Structure 1
Amino acid sequence: MRAEYPGFGRIVIDGKTYDHDVVVYPSGRVEKRKKWLSKNKHGTSHRFDLEELREYLKEDFDVLLIGTGAYGMLSLLPGGRKLVKGKEVIELPTGKAIEKFSELSGRKRVLAVFHITC
């Protein structure tokens, strides 16, 4: 699976461009991030809530990779780390997270959440 972060507000997954946050499952399925779940609870989608994370636990994975945005604004709340206990969790600015995604793809089952703006 190939991913690129050409810049603020856009991400390209296997040649398809998205202009919204995405979740990439280990199977390669891509869906729009359900950030309203966090926003409704915390008033911002920059706090990655446990309830939102539960929505993405549809496939088994080894690594939860979070692209925190161009400026690193998205953060996983502590309850999220407890929910995925025993799994590797990596949080990086989205550009770096894309590099890590490319490095891990094919070697590990990666569940990736990419915030594509701030």
Structure 2
Amino acid sequence: MKPKISSTSFGSITVKKKTFENDIIIRLGGQVEKRRKKLSKKLYGTSHKVSLEEAKYIYEKGAEKLIMGTGQTGYVELSKKAKKYFRKKDCKVKLFPTPKAIKIWNKSKGKTIAMFHVTC
């Protein structure tokens, strides 16, 4: 079951009444995991550009859509290789600032995964 996200503020996100103070990934089964942003940071020096290696970690077999919260003001982006990877997997990616991405996530249907950046 898809967990409901109730709120976000700079540096946190609340999912199923539990507050996380780090970026998160939500899997098809509803599990919430800490984002492994070091996979991108070691390549780009920032976690604001998602690398191919991180894209492979975020993707889950069977996912048809990825909703990505790009931060409170929207700084996170996909690298060209990450975009190509998601296209190859036939997984549509929707990027929005995190507050808007949460609204879209809460209304989403189907085989959807998510990644939310909670700062910037």
What TM-score, normalized by structure 1, do the two folds share? 0.93
Structure 2 segments unaligned to the other structure (5+ residues): none
For the residues of structure 2 that align with 1:11 and 1:60, how far apart are their CA atoms?
25
TM-fit CA distance, 1:14: 1.0
Aligned to 1:101: 105
CA RMSD of aligned residues (A): 1.1
Q: Which runs of 5+ in 1 are unaligned?
A: none
Count residues in correspondence: 116
Alignment partner, residue 80 of structure 2? 78
**In the TM superposition, what whole-angstrom CA distance separates every residue of 1:45-104 from its partner, at most 9, and x where no partner exists?**
111111111112234211111100001111011211211112211000000000000110
Percent identity between the aligned chains?
A: 34
| Deviant stretches of 4+, over 3 Å | none
Contact 1:26 1:59 in 2 (8 A): no
**Is 1:38–2:40 an aligned residue pair?**
yes
- Tell me by how many angstroms 1:6 deviates: 3.1
Secondary structure of the residue that 2:58 maps to in structure 1?
A: coil
Task: Give the distance between the partners of 2:119 and 2:38, measured in 1 at CA.
Answer: 15
TM-score (norm 2): 0.91
